[in-house]
Amino acid sequence: MKFKFLNTVFASSILLLSTASQAGLLTLEFTNTLDNMLADVRSNFAPQGLGYDASTNELLFLQQSSQTIFNTDLSGVIQSSSPLSYNHTTSIAADANNYYFSDYTANSGGLDVFSQNKSTGVITAISSDKAAYGGYPIDVRNGVLYRTNNSSTYSWSGLNEILISSVTNADAGIQRVSLATSIGIGDIAIDSGRNQVWTIDYTANAMLRQFDLATGAELSSHALGFDGLSAGLTFANDKLYYYDHNSGSGSTLSAYSLQSNSQEVPEPSTLAIFALGMIGLASRRFKKQS
Protein backbone atom coordinates (compact mmCIF):
# COMPACT_ATOMS: atom_id res chain seq x y z
CA MET A 1 0.00 0.00 0.00
CA LYS A 2 2.81 2.42 0.85
CA PHE A 3 4.57 1.91 -2.50
CA LYS A 4 1.34 2.35 -4.43
CA PHE A 5 0.50 5.52 -2.52
CA LEU A 6 3.93 7.07 -3.19
CA ASN A 7 3.70 6.21 -6.88
CA THR A 8 0.34 7.96 -7.04
CA VAL A 9 1.76 11.10 -5.39
CA PHE A 10 4.76 11.11 -7.75
CA ALA A 11 2.57 10.65 -10.84
CA SER A 12 0.20 13.39 -9.68
CA SER A 13 3.14 15.76 -9.18
CA ILE A 14 4.47 15.13 -12.68
CA LEU A 15 0.97 15.50 -14.18
CA LEU A 16 0.53 18.82 -12.41
CA LEU A 17 3.85 20.12 -13.71
CA SER A 18 3.40 18.85 -17.26
CA THR A 19 -0.07 20.39 -17.43
CA ALA A 20 1.33 23.76 -16.34
CA SER A 21 4.03 23.53 -19.00
CA GLN A 22 1.41 23.46 -21.76
CA ALA A 23 0.08 26.94 -21.03
CA GLY A 24 2.10 29.83 -22.43
CA LEU A 25 2.16 33.22 -20.76
CA LEU A 26 0.65 36.18 -22.62
CA THR A 27 1.96 39.69 -22.04
CA LEU A 28 0.13 42.75 -23.35
CA GLU A 29 2.54 44.73 -25.55
CA PHE A 30 0.20 47.57 -26.55
CA THR A 31 -3.36 48.62 -27.35
CA ASN A 32 -3.58 51.18 -30.17
CA THR A 33 -6.59 53.13 -31.41
CA LEU A 34 -7.05 52.53 -35.13
CA ASP A 35 -7.93 54.85 -37.99
CA ASN A 36 -11.68 55.37 -38.39
CA MET A 37 -11.45 53.60 -41.77
CA LEU A 38 -11.03 50.46 -39.65
CA ALA A 39 -14.29 51.24 -37.84
CA ASP A 40 -16.51 51.02 -40.92
CA VAL A 41 -20.16 51.68 -40.01
CA ARG A 42 -21.42 49.47 -42.85
CA SER A 43 -20.34 46.24 -41.20
CA ASN A 44 -22.83 43.42 -41.62
CA PHE A 45 -22.93 40.36 -39.39
CA ALA A 46 -19.76 39.73 -37.37
CA PRO A 47 -16.90 39.12 -36.67
CA GLN A 48 -14.46 41.16 -38.74
CA GLY A 49 -11.44 39.81 -40.61
CA LEU A 50 -7.86 40.14 -39.37
CA GLY A 51 -4.97 38.33 -41.04
CA TYR A 52 -1.21 38.39 -41.48
CA ASP A 53 0.91 38.67 -44.63
CA ALA A 54 4.31 37.14 -43.82
CA SER A 55 5.76 38.23 -47.16
CA THR A 56 5.34 41.92 -46.27
CA ASN A 57 5.19 41.58 -42.46
CA GLU A 58 1.86 43.40 -42.46
CA LEU A 59 -1.52 42.94 -40.85
CA LEU A 60 -4.61 42.65 -43.05
CA PHE A 61 -8.00 44.10 -42.10
CA LEU A 62 -11.17 43.09 -43.93
CA GLN A 63 -14.43 44.55 -42.65
CA GLN A 64 -17.75 43.28 -43.88
CA SER A 65 -19.36 45.51 -46.52
CA SER A 66 -16.32 47.80 -46.81
CA GLN A 67 -15.15 45.92 -49.94
CA THR A 68 -11.57 46.89 -49.14
CA ILE A 69 -8.48 45.07 -47.88
CA PHE A 70 -6.41 47.37 -45.65
CA ASN A 71 -2.71 46.62 -45.12
CA THR A 72 -1.20 48.03 -41.92
CA ASP A 73 2.12 47.80 -40.14
CA LEU A 74 2.23 45.73 -36.97
CA SER A 75 1.08 48.70 -34.88
CA GLY A 76 -2.07 49.09 -36.97
CA VAL A 77 -1.09 52.13 -39.07
CA ILE A 78 -2.57 51.86 -42.59
CA GLN A 79 0.09 51.47 -45.29
CA SER A 80 -2.04 50.68 -48.34
CA SER A 81 -5.41 49.33 -49.44
CA SER A 82 -6.92 47.45 -52.37
CA PRO A 83 -10.53 47.07 -53.55
CA LEU A 84 -12.40 43.79 -53.22
CA SER A 85 -15.65 43.28 -55.12
CA TYR A 86 -17.29 41.09 -52.47
CA ASN A 87 -19.61 42.33 -49.77
CA HIS A 88 -20.16 39.66 -47.09
CA THR A 89 -16.53 38.88 -46.28
CA THR A 90 -15.68 37.35 -42.92
CA SER A 91 -11.98 36.43 -42.86
CA ILE A 92 -8.68 37.31 -44.57
CA ALA A 93 -5.25 35.67 -45.04
CA ALA A 94 -2.32 35.93 -47.47
CA ASP A 95 0.84 34.45 -48.91
CA ALA A 96 3.48 35.97 -51.18
CA ASN A 97 1.26 35.96 -54.29
CA ASN A 98 -2.37 36.01 -53.15
CA TYR A 99 -4.88 37.26 -50.66
CA TYR A 100 -7.42 34.68 -49.43
CA PHE A 101 -10.86 35.48 -48.07
CA SER A 102 -14.13 33.82 -47.08
CA ASP A 103 -17.48 35.21 -48.18
CA TYR A 104 -21.13 34.23 -47.86
CA THR A 105 -22.75 36.32 -50.60
CA ALA A 106 -25.86 34.49 -51.91
CA ASN A 107 -25.61 32.03 -49.00
CA SER A 108 -25.87 28.49 -50.40
CA GLY A 109 -26.07 29.93 -53.91
CA GLY A 110 -22.52 31.32 -53.78
CA LEU A 111 -19.04 29.91 -53.28
CA ASP A 112 -17.28 30.55 -49.98
CA VAL A 113 -13.47 30.69 -50.28
CA PHE A 114 -11.45 32.69 -52.80
CA SER A 115 -7.97 33.85 -53.69
CA GLN A 116 -7.18 37.24 -55.18
CA ASN A 117 -3.92 37.63 -57.10
CA LYS A 118 -2.00 40.55 -55.63
CA SER A 119 -0.60 41.67 -58.99
CA THR A 120 -3.59 41.27 -61.30
CA GLY A 121 -6.51 41.49 -58.88
CA VAL A 122 -8.05 38.37 -60.47
CA ILE A 123 -10.30 36.47 -58.04
CA THR A 124 -10.55 32.67 -58.16
CA ALA A 125 -12.65 30.25 -56.10
CA ILE A 126 -10.37 27.73 -54.38
CA SER A 127 -13.07 25.50 -52.87
CA SER A 128 -16.44 24.11 -53.90
CA ASP A 129 -17.97 25.04 -50.52
CA LYS A 130 -21.39 26.66 -50.87
CA ALA A 131 -22.55 26.72 -47.28
CA ALA A 132 -25.39 29.02 -46.28
CA TYR A 133 -25.32 31.78 -43.70
CA GLY A 134 -22.23 33.42 -42.27
CA GLY A 135 -19.10 32.01 -43.81
CA TYR A 136 -16.29 30.95 -41.49
CA PRO A 137 -12.82 31.95 -40.23
CA ILE A 138 -9.77 31.02 -42.32
CA ASP A 139 -5.98 31.25 -42.12
CA VAL A 140 -3.19 30.38 -44.57
CA ARG A 141 0.31 29.40 -43.47
CA ASN A 142 3.12 27.89 -45.56
CA GLY A 143 0.82 26.75 -48.36
CA VAL A 144 -1.75 25.25 -45.99
CA LEU A 145 -5.37 26.42 -45.69
CA TYR A 146 -6.98 26.29 -42.25
CA ARG A 147 -10.73 26.86 -41.91
CA THR A 148 -13.49 25.92 -39.51
CA ASN A 149 -16.51 23.76 -40.26
CA ASN A 150 -19.43 25.47 -41.99
CA SER A 151 -21.89 27.60 -40.06
CA SER A 152 -25.51 26.44 -40.28
CA THR A 153 -27.18 29.60 -38.94
CA TYR A 154 -26.37 33.32 -38.77
CA SER A 155 -24.21 32.46 -35.79
CA TRP A 156 -20.82 30.85 -35.31
CA SER A 157 -21.79 29.15 -32.05
CA GLY A 158 -21.64 25.75 -33.79
CA LEU A 159 -18.07 26.08 -35.06
CA ASN A 160 -15.82 23.56 -33.32
CA GLU A 161 -13.59 22.01 -36.00
CA ILE A 162 -10.48 22.97 -37.93
CA LEU A 163 -10.20 21.69 -41.50
CA ILE A 164 -6.65 21.49 -42.85
CA SER A 165 -5.78 21.11 -46.55
CA SER A 166 -3.44 22.36 -49.25
CA VAL A 167 -4.28 25.86 -50.41
CA THR A 168 -3.84 24.70 -54.02
CA ASN A 169 -6.32 21.81 -53.62
CA ALA A 170 -8.60 22.84 -50.81
CA ASP A 171 -11.19 20.08 -51.24
CA ALA A 172 -8.76 17.12 -51.31
CA GLY A 173 -7.08 15.30 -48.43
CA ILE A 174 -8.82 17.37 -45.77
CA GLN A 175 -7.76 16.66 -42.19
CA ARG A 176 -10.44 17.42 -39.61
CA VAL A 177 -9.54 18.25 -36.03
CA SER A 178 -12.34 18.50 -33.46
CA LEU A 179 -11.55 21.12 -30.82
CA ALA A 180 -12.55 20.60 -27.21
CA THR A 181 -15.00 23.50 -27.18
CA SER A 182 -18.79 23.84 -27.25
CA ILE A 183 -18.98 27.65 -27.28
CA GLY A 184 -18.23 28.30 -30.94
CA ILE A 185 -15.39 30.18 -32.60
CA GLY A 186 -15.28 33.89 -33.43
CA ASP A 187 -11.91 33.73 -35.21
CA ILE A 188 -8.77 31.61 -35.46
CA ALA A 189 -5.01 32.31 -35.48
CA ILE A 190 -2.63 29.55 -36.55
CA ASP A 191 0.73 29.08 -34.84
CA SER A 192 2.21 26.67 -37.39
CA GLY A 193 5.56 26.43 -35.63
CA ARG A 194 3.96 24.85 -32.57
CA ASN A 195 1.14 23.18 -34.55
CA GLN A 196 -1.43 25.03 -32.49
CA VAL A 197 -4.49 27.18 -33.08
CA TRP A 198 -5.71 30.10 -30.99
CA THR A 199 -9.42 30.86 -30.99
CA ILE A 200 -11.82 33.46 -29.62
CA ASP A 201 -15.11 32.17 -28.23
CA TYR A 202 -18.13 33.27 -30.24
CA THR A 203 -19.62 35.32 -27.42
CA ALA A 204 -19.55 38.91 -26.16
CA ASN A 205 -17.47 37.97 -23.12
CA ALA A 206 -15.01 35.71 -24.89
CA MET A 207 -12.16 33.58 -23.66
CA LEU A 208 -9.01 33.32 -25.73
CA ARG A 209 -8.16 29.61 -26.08
CA GLN A 210 -5.13 27.65 -27.27
CA PHE A 211 -5.56 24.18 -28.83
CA ASP A 212 -3.26 21.42 -30.04
CA LEU A 213 -3.87 20.88 -33.77
CA ALA A 214 -2.81 17.24 -33.56
CA THR A 215 -5.34 16.23 -30.90
CA GLY A 216 -7.77 19.14 -30.51
CA ALA A 217 -7.00 19.28 -26.78
CA GLU A 218 -7.26 22.66 -25.06
CA LEU A 219 -3.85 23.79 -23.79
CA SER A 220 -4.74 27.08 -22.12
CA SER A 221 -7.48 29.68 -21.77
CA HIS A 222 -7.24 33.38 -20.98
CA ALA A 223 -9.88 35.86 -19.79
CA LEU A 224 -8.72 39.11 -21.42
CA GLY A 225 -12.02 40.93 -21.85
CA PHE A 226 -12.36 40.09 -25.55
CA ASP A 227 -15.55 40.45 -27.56
CA GLY A 228 -15.75 37.48 -29.91
CA LEU A 229 -18.76 38.82 -31.83
CA SER A 230 -17.06 41.84 -33.42
CA ALA A 231 -13.38 41.00 -33.48
CA GLY A 232 -10.51 39.47 -35.44
CA LEU A 233 -7.47 37.46 -34.39
CA THR A 234 -4.15 36.60 -36.03
CA PHE A 235 -0.66 35.36 -35.13
CA ALA A 236 2.62 36.92 -36.24
CA ASN A 237 6.23 36.80 -35.00
CA ASP A 238 5.29 34.99 -31.78
CA LYS A 239 2.59 37.53 -30.98
CA LEU A 240 -1.19 37.41 -31.03
CA TYR A 241 -2.99 40.41 -32.52
CA TYR A 242 -6.56 41.16 -31.50
CA TYR A 243 -8.79 43.53 -33.50
CA ASP A 244 -11.73 44.97 -31.55
CA HIS A 245 -14.09 46.52 -34.11
CA ASN A 246 -16.25 49.42 -32.94
CA SER A 247 -18.57 50.83 -35.57
CA GLY A 248 -17.92 54.48 -36.42
CA SER A 249 -14.85 55.09 -34.25
CA GLY A 250 -12.86 53.55 -31.42
CA SER A 251 -11.62 50.35 -33.05
CA THR A 252 -8.44 49.10 -31.38
CA LEU A 253 -5.57 46.71 -32.04
CA SER A 254 -3.92 44.87 -29.16
CA ALA A 255 -0.75 42.78 -29.32
CA TYR A 256 0.16 40.03 -26.85
CA SER A 257 3.62 38.47 -26.80
CA LEU A 258 3.76 34.73 -26.27
CA GLN A 259 6.51 33.75 -23.87
CA SER A 260 8.14 30.36 -24.21
CA ASN A 261 7.15 27.59 -21.84
CA SER A 262 10.67 27.53 -20.42
CA GLN A 263 9.97 30.91 -18.81
CA GLU A 264 6.95 29.52 -17.05
CA VAL A 265 8.11 26.08 -15.93
CA PRO A 266 11.02 25.41 -13.52
CA GLU A 267 14.20 23.75 -14.74
CA PRO A 268 14.22 19.89 -14.82
CA SER A 269 16.38 19.75 -11.68
CA THR A 270 13.84 21.90 -9.87
CA LEU A 271 11.05 19.59 -11.02
CA ALA A 272 12.93 16.61 -9.68
CA ILE A 273 13.48 18.30 -6.31
CA PHE A 274 9.81 19.23 -6.17
CA ALA A 275 8.72 15.67 -6.93
CA LEU A 276 11.13 14.20 -4.37
CA GLY A 277 9.89 16.68 -1.81
CA MET A 278 6.33 15.57 -2.49
CA ILE A 279 7.36 11.94 -2.02
CA GLY A 280 9.13 12.77 1.25
CA LEU A 281 6.11 14.65 2.55
CA ALA A 282 3.81 11.81 1.58
CA SER A 283 6.12 9.29 3.24
CA ARG A 284 6.12 11.22 6.55
CA ARG A 285 2.33 11.52 6.41
CA PHE A 286 2.05 7.78 5.75
CA LYS A 287 4.23 6.90 8.72
CA LYS A 288 2.19 9.10 11.05
CA GLN A 289 -0.97 7.35 9.90
CA SER A 290 0.53 3.82 10.30
Tens digit of pLDDT for each residue in 52-86? 999 999 999 999 889 999 999 999 999 999 999 99
Find the range with the poorest average confidence among 110-124, 190-204, 256-270.
256-270
HSE, side-chain direction, 13 A CA sphere, residue 242: 27
Q: What is the pLDDT of residue 263?
A: 38
- The mean per-residue pLDDT over the stretch 154-159 comes to 92
Q: For position 18, what pLDDT does the model report?
A: 33
Highest average pLDDT, of 4-13, 70-79, 277-286, comes from 70-79
Q: What pLDDT is attached to residue 84? A: 94
User: What does the CA dihedral 212, 215, 220, 221 come to, rounded to 10 degrees?
Assistant: 100
pTM of structure: 0.82
Instruction: Find the mean pLDDT for residues 1-23.
Output: 35
- φ, ψ (nearest 5 deg) of residue 159: -80, 120
**Is a pLDDT exceeding 70 seen at residue 280?**
no
Residue pLDDT, tens place only, 213-262: 999 999 999 999 999 998 999 999 999 999 999 999 999 999 999 875 43
Domains present along the chain, CATH in parentheses = 37-235 (2.130.10.10)
pLDDT at 17 over 50: no
Task: Give the N- to C-terminal CA distance of the chain in Å, as an integer.
Answer: 11
CA 284 to chain centre: 47
* Whole-angstrom distance, CA of residue 162 vs CA of residue 35: 32
49-53 β-sheet, strand order: 49-53, 58-62, 68-72, 78-83
d(CA 70, CA 62): 7
| Residue 193 Cα to chain centre, angstroms | 14
